[in-house]
Amino acid sequence: MELKAPPFKLGDLASWAGARLHGDADLAIHAAAPLDAANQPCSISFLANSRFEKNLKNTGASAVVLAEAALEACPVAALVTQNPYATWAKIAGLFVSRRTIAPGIHPSAVVDPSAHIGPGCRVGPLVYIGPRTRLGTNVLVEASVVINEDVSVGDQCTIGPGAVLHYAVVIGRRVRIHAGAVIGANGFGLAFDADHWLNVPQLGSVRIGDDCEIGANTTVDRGALGDTVLGCDVRLDNLIQIGHNVRIGDHTAMAGCVGVAGSARIGQYVQVGGASGIGGHIQIADHVVINSMSQVTHSIHKAGTYSAGLPLSEHAAWLRNAARFRHLDELVDRVKSLQRRVGALERGDDPVKHAPDAEK
């Protein structure tokens, strides 16, 4: 079933999204709305987190996407599904205004004669496209984009305003690159020689798989020798730094301000919370979740959820705890000493013999 434009019948939405209908199948849905919005007749909303169930009773929406456990408390029509948030994402997409993009090349764009621009492409104002670069079909290149030489861009990609794709970068199909992103700049390769730095040539490139999304002002550095590689359906938020020779597996997502140092290997279905840092030359297994503001300094070989760092606290308490951290080694030694002495007492030995020299 294909749904083209609102209004939609609620029964059609249920069939299209694979949800179970609870209510009037002919109910017309004109818009998507917040759960707690008042005076929103003919709208649909969602409940994916039990913390917001309090808003369900008085919702102004005409229908709600929710899980079976919340159905009894729902006063309006519902679409029941095992994963309300994913179902909502599909339905909400039906209400996004679709831009009508006429194909063509703006007169102010500079396109090298050796470049290939596929059918249905739109090249916006002040764009530069370099020698031997190839754009697939139906690619949208927005204003002031720079695409250097020997770049390959797959079908149905969107490249946002001011983005830069450096030489020999390879972009898959249906990739969305947001404004100001930089793909394929030199990685941070330096060698110290006597009294000054030398730049290590960055001879690799960047390869990005199908269905990826690169956030605004995110950078993905080119490899030093091999390539920096993003698999398929990788989602990078805004302001992320991906270092040279990093490899990221399929379906991995990273929130804003994450930094990944060079040559890290990140598995599939990994989730990285915002402002986390991942050290260089480490490996992260598939299905790992790293909570926000974590510092990953060693490899993670087992799937699971990991956290690091101290939560926010009153400054005086934070200072006390920070001071105590400086004495962790000393405290560990004292605990081990006590354990030895307790063990000696339990065996009937002289505990003084098992104390460290400092305590004798």
**Average pLDDT score, the chain:** 93
Q: Which residue has the higher pLDDT, 352 or 153?
A: 153
What are the tokens at 302?
Answer: 């087992």
Q: What is the pTM of this model?
A: 0.87
Stretch 285-295: mean pLDDT: 97
| 206-226 per-position pLDDT tens digit | 999 999 999 999 999 999 999
Whether 106 sits among the annotated catalytic residues: the reply is no
Over residues 350-359, mean pLDDT: 59
pLDDT digits (tens, 9 = 90+) for 5-38: 889 999 999 999 999 999 999 999 999 988 886 5
Which helix (H) or strand (E) segment holds residue 321: the answer is helix 315-325
Q: How far apart are CA 83 and CA 74, in angstroms?
A: 17
Does residue 282 surpass a pLDDT of 60?
yes
What's the confidence (pLDDT) of residue 355? 62
Catalytic hit among 22, 178, 244, 251: 244
Distances in Å between the alpha carbon of 292 and those of 274, 275, 310?
5, 6, 11
Q: Which residues pair with 213 in a beta bridge?
A: 176, 235
Q: Which residues pair with 43 in a beta bridge?
A: 31
Query: CA-to-CA distance for 264 and 249, rounded, in angstroms?
Result: 11
- Are the CB atoms for 353 and 341 separated by under 8 Å? no
Could you please state the CATH topology (level 3) that the domain comprising 163-306 is classified under. UDP N-Acetylglucosamine Acyltransferase; domain 1 (2.160.10)
State mean pLDDT over 226-245. Answer: 98
Topology of domain 8-95, CATH = 3.40.1390
Q: Is the dihedral of CA 116, 159, 156, 267 positive or negative?
A: positive
- Domain limits of the chain? 8-95, 163-306, 315-359
